[in-house]
């Protein structure tokens, strides 16, 4: 999964989106902080390719999902669905084409939603660059746009800044590329390439100030680093595990903090927090919860009371665990519970 798959809807309920075989399933709280619904299939009965799901959410609380479906022998196309509220049915999967007009899957899509509620879909193309498809404000989609680049790794990290414009990060051999919209609705332009040796599959971006987004990635030495374009990357701490981190901004004891979570090498969830954009203050991992399967992923969000909520999901076992921050000082969490 690419993006945050634990989301808070417009009604305050938490929901999760999980690939399952040839479908995507949604589970949602029946009430804020309450019991959870049984899994429901998203987007109708169309058969999808397993995995390769991109997820994004706009300021309006609507969830957008993009994935691949088979269209013909050795050919595939992307489809998009919007989910307005966790307890309602999502829209049916809508075909949105292929970055090269036709062909097989080219990479895992990444998704960001701008301030006007328009989804922007990014995916690697067969030339090794990045292509983008954006919704029109009054419905429909603009044509596919080639953002260029070469030898781009499959995993991309799209993010919406506090200004409401969309940015994209991608790793290539020995560097990270950064695209940014100069104004709402414009085609993102490649602004910077920063030398870095990135472990595949470890990019995650977060809006951290009105001017900046921050990219988190693991380098080939195993260090988790933070990078804001226009500056040098800052090593934070050794990566807790092999996959990407999940990141969210939250208030801890009156401070604007960035909280990171990652499945650790020991199999538990590791958390680390530090004052937002103050990486020099330092951070350290604290583990929580039971041991998880090797394929378990972690996602973070804020609940209806602006408390941190976390979830872990394992595709192999179907296990879904959730927790919330206790109503007390620090980052004390409730006991993890299976839903």
Measured on CA atoms in the order 100, 102, 106, 110, is the torsion positive or negative? Answer: positive
Residue 48 and residue 67 in contact, taking contact as beta carbons nearer than 8 Å: yes
**C-alpha span between 117 and 60 (Å, rounded):** 7
Q: What is the pLDDT of residue 139?
A: 87
pLDDT > 70: what percent of the chain?
100
Who contacts 232 (Cβ-Cβ below 8 Å, separation ≥6)?
A: none
The mean pLDDT value for 277-295 works out to 96
**C-alpha span between 116 and 320 (Å, rounded):** 33
Q: What is the pLDDT of residue 51?
A: 86
pLDDT, tens digit (0-9, with 9 covering 90-100), for 166-198: 999 999 999 999 999 999 989 999 999 999 999
Q: What is the pLDDT of residue 243?
A: 87
What domains sit in the chain, N to C, each tagged with a CATH number?
Answer: 6-242 (2.120.10.10), 243-339 (2.40.128)
Measured on CA atoms in the order 219, 221, 222, 227, is the torsion positive or negative? Answer: negative
Q: What is the pLDDT of residue 180?
A: 97
């Amino acid at each position: 999964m690419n993006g945050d798959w634990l989301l808070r809807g417009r009604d305050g309920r938490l929901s999760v989106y999980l690939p399952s075989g040839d479908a995507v399933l949604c589970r949602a709280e029946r009430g804020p902080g309450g019991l959870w619904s049984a899994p429901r299939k998203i987007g109708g009965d169309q058969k999808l390719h397993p995995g390769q799901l991109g997820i994004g959410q706009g300021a309006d609380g609507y969830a957008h999902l993009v994935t691949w479906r088979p269209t013909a022998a050795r050919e595939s196309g992307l489809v998009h669905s919007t989910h307005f509220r966790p307890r309602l049915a999502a829209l049916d999967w809508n075909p949105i084409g292929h970055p090269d007009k036709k062909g097989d899957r080219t990479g895992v899509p990444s998704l960001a939603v701008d301030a006007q509620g328009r989804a922007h879909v990014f995916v690697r193309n067969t030339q090794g660059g990045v292509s983008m498809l954006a919704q029109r404000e009054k419905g429909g989609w603009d044509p596919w746009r080639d953002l260029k680049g070469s030898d781009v790794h499959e995993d991309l990290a799209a993010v919406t800044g506090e200004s409401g414009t969309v940015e994209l990060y991608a790793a290539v051999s020995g560097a990270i590329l950064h695209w940014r919209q100069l104004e709402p609705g414009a085609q993102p332009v490649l602004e910077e390439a920063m030398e870095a040796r990135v472990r595949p599959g470890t990019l995650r971006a977060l809006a951290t100030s009105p001017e900046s987004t921050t990219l988190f990635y693991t380098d080939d030495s195993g260090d988790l680093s933070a990078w804001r374009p226009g500056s040098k990357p800052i090593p934070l701490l050794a990566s807790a595990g092999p996959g990407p981190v999940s990141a969210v901004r939250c208030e801890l004891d009156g401070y604007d903090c960035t909280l990171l979570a990652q499945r650790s090498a020991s199999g538990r969830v590791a958390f680390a927090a530090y004052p937002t954009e103050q990486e020099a203050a330092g951070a350290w991992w604290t583990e929580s919860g039971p041991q998880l399967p090797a394929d378990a992923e972690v996602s973070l969000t804020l609940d209806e009371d602006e408390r941190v909520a976390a979830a872990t999901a394992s595709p192999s076992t179907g296990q879904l665990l959730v927790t919330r921050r206790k109503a007390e000082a620090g980052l004390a969490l409730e006991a993890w519970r299976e839903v």
